[in-house]
Structure 1
């Protein structure tokens, strides 16, 4: 990266910190100006230059399901629907309630002004924070997904769908590609077992100084590199390794495992908030978990208070009205044509000057400890299928992650999901192996991200099943003072707190 790029990135982040409201107002004006000739722009009068308040009154808040009729037309090639032109690239992700995957347009503008600009900012910030590491003198090892032909346009081979990381890598600017490893042909392989093996063999010969990716997959890759090298830890392979840019899942459960693999004080960790829909925030302060909200990267932000999450006519607030410590759902309008779109992520602000936040979860119960994005609809479908296949009747259930752990001899025990199932009174006990097999197969069928993590048992182990005595969940609710009324057992949580309490109740111990 040139000195000019570094100098350009740092002042822009300074403007984001110092002039957040002016920066966001400028972003909204530009979005409306660019999209005024689209179907969406004509419908809502973008050419009239509405203020932020007028924009909020005119344009409805939309979930993916609500926006899907317009998105499907874009997928099939209709021009000028949500954003000018015909987007050729679509990021594919799980989490939608009405399909196995969701497809989000990735426009040239969203790449240049969003993902690439933010990536450049992150690298500039890293070299500023850790100058002695000389991070850019070596390679950045990035581990991402793959892409494939767009099934909605089989006649157009140039139109592609895939993981957002793959789309980003496919079109990287030359300066960024020159810093990255492995070669694109390896990076975009679709078969994960072969991919990890071949990347590990290639990376042995590289001067890797920066890691970038999801902790789940990076941990597997680093373990394989250590094995191939016959080393005790990764510093014997890459002595200049100094930084891991991580995102997608909470890093806390992985921290100790990475410390064992990469011992020594030189290793630094910075979090990025780079989602399918855009690059939202980055960690700009070492030692703090707070993320700086990126306000001039082609995205206009609004925030939906918790009381509005299930409202029939939700009313997000603009940036200048957010309150410290309160939970909000993220609502975005982007240069990819997502207008007042509910991402599904929840955040809370830890600072208003500048605007820094932490990711707190999802608006719905979910499991995403390893990037699998299992939502409640997936879980209910899987439990129903397993119940039907085994002839049992499930009264209630909850599930939580089983995190990676260091096992005997330094081996890593894979993570997975633990399911606690209570049967209806008098119901026969299920064939546990059959129940787990159908549960797992159904989740793989309805959720592409879960399927990828379960491929060859590479990242996720098969589910664990606990069949609970009748009345367990009622006793747990009573112990929490939540028995009766509208209180219910959380079905999916990224924390093990509820599951551990329920298992304690089942064992006769106080919750």
Structure 2
């Protein structure tokens, strides 16, 4: 038995035994008051009179009444852009040492989201919390001596006059403590390589020299990394080179669509642990093996609010309409979808992060990400969210014995009538008309609004099957490969036309 691993495991168990969760509602009120107190003398805090809000008998309700919702475009135009011009004390004290660049899933231009020293520390503390919950999993003692492959974006940050810029995974990795660097792979030198393909090639070359126990990364890019390693060393599965791989930690993307693909790359099942690390902060993580849901981090620099995810509250561009009601943590209900709103120690205020979630367990404050506000397909009243689409695609996988790790869909006009046109990234062969019929039937059974739309204005469903690699190349052509980049599941007509042209160029005559 690995002695050091046993000691580490024992320490984690001991820590877990003495550390108890705070009262969630008191914790959230304390976080909000702390945010307001620290930012009350910033330009934002003075403008929205944080001092007066703090004097209120009900700080949370008053905060919601006095401060409007912000999406990235609104807060950047009105406030964060001032930081880019060199101003300090704008929405958070001082100047941020980092800006997290996020192309997200909505376009080629990068967002620049401030990351304060307080946020870097909050992310570190939440990481420690997550490590503490490993005691809930049945992992061998020697797992705690193994190395961790952190497949994020490049740690070679762009140094500006008074700050550095990069993706949040690169910023986090560049702040890894010295004691952890012996465990961290691919290591500083390889992690600094900007080009994704070059970085993954170097990882493949070095793979035999590492004893990896856990991998963290977005599923689509992790899959490509593993495939590259298998190809480079002519292997059948990743356990041939990393026999002690026990854990895969995903983040920000539902793992279910990639489950079948991953099974083919492994010799045996691994423990999948989901995390929710966004450019705006480390929001939640899976804390126990009985569920794939994630526990919100309620006492560490992020204040949460929730807007019911209903068509009457959401604009076509995914933003929240004025005078939309907000729900506090104490009033949320299980299995209802909400738009997530956050205020943070980086100076994001009532900020629409763009994700939709549902509570799977209100008592434990566990959530699942169900989609993106901009991935809500509601042309002609179909009201389809990404989780409904994911479920339908999983049914296709089972029914036709296929692997479908990627898809995108748009409402387009054909002969003057709206249809839903799907592109499925399929491993294997299937009849496109049969897929379309099965997909349509599944969605009608699962969604009453969709069924009504299909009986009226939504005149049909079409499916085109393509090689899943095309989705990767699309990301490379429009944004970049690797890191935090996620494929958009729903496109507007303009973007979809570009997508179709790209597919035709990649696959002429399809």
TM-score normalised to structure 2 length? 0.71
Partner of 2:300: 297
1:215 aligns with 2:223: no
Q: CA deviation at 1:75?
A: 2.8
Q: Per-residue CA shift, 1:305-358, capped at 9, x if unaligned?
A: 124334222332111111222111000000000000011111111111111111
C-alpha separation between the residues in 2 aligned to 1:12 and 1:360? 33
Written as runs of structure 1 = structure 2, the 5 A alignment for 1:104-115 is: 104-113=113-122, 115=123
Partner of 1:278: 281
C-alpha separation between the residues in 2 aligned to 1:346 and 1:297? 21
Q: Measured at CA, do residues 121 and 405 of structure 1 come closer, stay the same or move farther in structure 2, by a change above 3 Å? A: farther
C-alpha separation between the residues in 2 aligned to 1:39 and 1:340? 16
Q: Measured at CA, do residues 234 and 200 of structure 1 come closer, stay the same or move farther in structure 2, by a change above 3 Å? A: same
Partner of 1:59: 67
Aligned partner (choices 102, 105, 110) of residue 111 of structure 2: 102
What residue ranges of structure 1 are gaps of 5+ in the alignment? 408-438, 464-488, 493-511
1:68 aligns with 2:71: no
Q: CA deviation at 1:393?
A: 10
Q: Measured at CA, do residues 299 and 216 of structure 1 come closer, stay the same or move farther in structure 2, by a change above 3 Å? A: same
C-alpha separation between the residues in 1 aligned to 2:92 and 2:407? 27
Q: CA deviation at 1:27?
A: 0.8
Partner of 2:373: 363
Tell me the C-alpha RMSD between the 2 structures.
3.9
Aligned partner (choices 293, 308, 314) of residue 309 of structure 1: 314
Q: CA deviation at 1:280?
A: 1.2
Partner of 1:77: 86
Q: Measured at CA, do residues 353 and 166 of structure 1 come closer, stay the same or move farther in structure 2, by a change above 3 Å? A: same
1:141 aligns with 2:149: yes
Q: Measured at CA, do residues 262 and 148 of structure 1 come closer, stay the same or move farther in structure 2, by a change above 3 Å? A: closer
Q: Measured at CA, do residues 372 and 320 of structure 1 come closer, stay the same or move farther in structure 2, by a change above 3 Å? A: same
Partner of 1:251: 255
Partner of 2:170: 166
The secondary structure found in structure 1 opposite 2:20 is helix
Q: Measured at CA, do residues 210 and 169 of structure 1 come closer, stay the same or move farther in structure 2, by a change above 3 Å? A: same
Indicate if the aligned counterparts of 1:348 and 1:357 stay in contact, CA closer than 8 A.
Answer: yes
The secondary structure found in structure 1 opposite 2:480 is helix
C-alpha separation between the residues in 2 aligned to 1:320 and 1:459? 32
TM-score normalised to structure 1 length? 0.71
Q: Which moved more, 1:292-301 or 1:392-401?
A: 392-401
Q: Measured at CA, do residues 197 and 14 of structure 1 come closer, stay the same or move farther in structure 2, by a change above 3 Å? A: same
Partner of 2:208: 204
Q: Measured at CA, do residues 99 and 341 of structure 1 come closer, stay the same or move farther in structure 2, by a change above 3 Å? A: farther
Indicate if the aligned counterparts of 1:372 and 1:453 stay in contact, CA closer than 8 A.
Answer: no
Aligned partner (choices 440, 445, 451) of residue 479 of structure 2: 451
The count of aligned residue pairs is 410
C-alpha separation between the residues in 2 aligned to 1:12 and 1:55? 34
Indicate if the aligned counterparts of 2:155 and 2:173 stay in contact, CA closer than 8 A.
Answer: no
Indicate if the aligned counterparts of 1:127 and 1:134 stay in contact, CA closer than 8 A.
Answer: no
What residue ranges of structure 2 are gaps of 5+ in the alignment? 316-320, 378-385, 391-403, 430-469, 494-510
Indicate if the aligned counterparts of 1:316 and 1:331 stay in contact, CA closer than 8 A.
Answer: no
The secondary structure found in structure 2 opposite 1:15 is coil
Q: Which moved more, 1:306-315 or 1:351-360?
A: 306-315
Q: Measured at CA, do residues 10 and 316 of structure 1 come closer, stay the same or move farther in structure 2, by a change above 3 Å? A: farther
Indicate if the aligned counterparts of 1:5 and 1:124 stay in contact, CA closer than 8 A.
Answer: no
